[in-house]
Amino acid sequence: MTIKYIDQIELDNKSVLIRVDYNVPYDSELNITDDTRIKATLPTIEHCLKNNAKIILVSHLGRPKGKRVPEMTLAPVAKRLGEILSKEVTFIADELGPDVKEQINSMNNGDIILLENIRYYSGETKNDEDLGKTLASFADVYINDAFATAHRAHSSNASVTNHVKECGAGFLLKNEIEYFNKAMGNPERPFGAIIGGAKVSSKLDALENILNKVDFIIIGGGMAFTFLKAQGYETGKSLLEEDLVDTAKTILSKAKEKGVEIYLPVDITTAKEFDNNSPKQTVSMESIPNDEMGLDIGAKSIKLFEDKVKAAKTIIWNGPMGAFEMSNFADGTNSIAETLAQSDCLSIVGGGDSVTAINQAGVADKVSYISTGGGAFLELLEGKTLPGFSALDK
């Protein structure tokens, strides 16, 4: 694809509509509890300010399903962005139409407007062409800087591009594209993938695709038990997708044919209940009790996986090694996070749980790149072309 980036576009005295991802968490009083996604858009906004542009920001928040839900207003975001920039950010709660158009037309260079939650309009998630045309009427230039929604074809990232003369990607989107291409396009080897999380079914297409790219795959988390069952191990009460055991066998067979090493846990930390306070023990794969479930990888598995990570030059990580949200079962995930942080490899972490794990381990600043999209990152791993990307390919 040929995608133009924001620094290749003339912005002076132009109205720039930027699709951002301000889907931030609120507490019960509508206070923002994590402004990471707001701060991630600052390079793009500041570039527009330096180039004398008028900035119109559009985002969603939550799933209001085409209705005005007061708890999902973006008003607090406008306030927080203004505080971060030390600059007024005008929030427009009005229905999109002539009144909004008039306010945009009266903007001066350097002004910033944030529109109300775009998912208050039912046409947004249907990629409604008329809604896209309305958004386009506000701008001379369209910029997409919302990777987390790039796997959805919505009006604010797809149909809008049909009606704006010049379209491009912001710096956040540029980073996502360039880092992913570094890893999947021409990686420095050995190239490995760490794939975890609960279910094989959610990662099946990704596993199939990366088999053609990587030198090895580390599999942990609940999904590991389906592969262990495929190798003949008994898995007790552990999470298991019985209907995918044969599929797991096929993946293991394909990997062998392609010379891709697949590493599975060799020991498991188990407990009788999915409870942080449930007594735990670490057992070998051959010895998982029938009445217990695996909730983390054991010390020998951690050592095995760490050695592979240390030897790699490129690593992609998607999914935790266990029930890391419970402190007594977080050792595996935290250890992998710390090892990855200490490595000098190109390390790319994507997926909500993986990002949470990196932050929880306190090493977010030590990995090469943390992707801002969960579903979008996974679809890239699956080898899919994201609608938000293809819409920019003009």
Active site members: 37, 199, 352, 375
- Distances in Å between the Cα of 344 and the Cα atoms of 313, 315, 340, 348 are 7, 10, 8, 12
Tokens for 197, please give them: 């999380």
For residue 117, give the nearest of 47, 208, 24 by alpha carbon. 24
Element (H, E) at 142: strand 141-144
- Only one residue has tokens 């230039």, namely 141
Of residues 145, 252, 202, the one with CA closest to residue 353: 202
- 324 secondary structure, DSSP code: T
With beta carbons less than 8 A apart as the criterion, state whether 194 and 305 touch. yes
Taking the CA atoms of the chain, what radius of gyration do you get in angstroms? 23
Give the residue carrying structure tokens 């009606």. 163
What b/e string do you get for 177-200 counting C-beta neighbours within 10 Å, with b at 16 or more? bebbebbbeebeebbbbbbbbbbb
Give the separation between CA 163 and CA 312, rounded to whole angstroms. Answer: 45
Instruction: Please say whether the beta carbons of 113 and 107 come within 8 A.
Output: yes
Cis amide leading into 98 (omega within 30): no
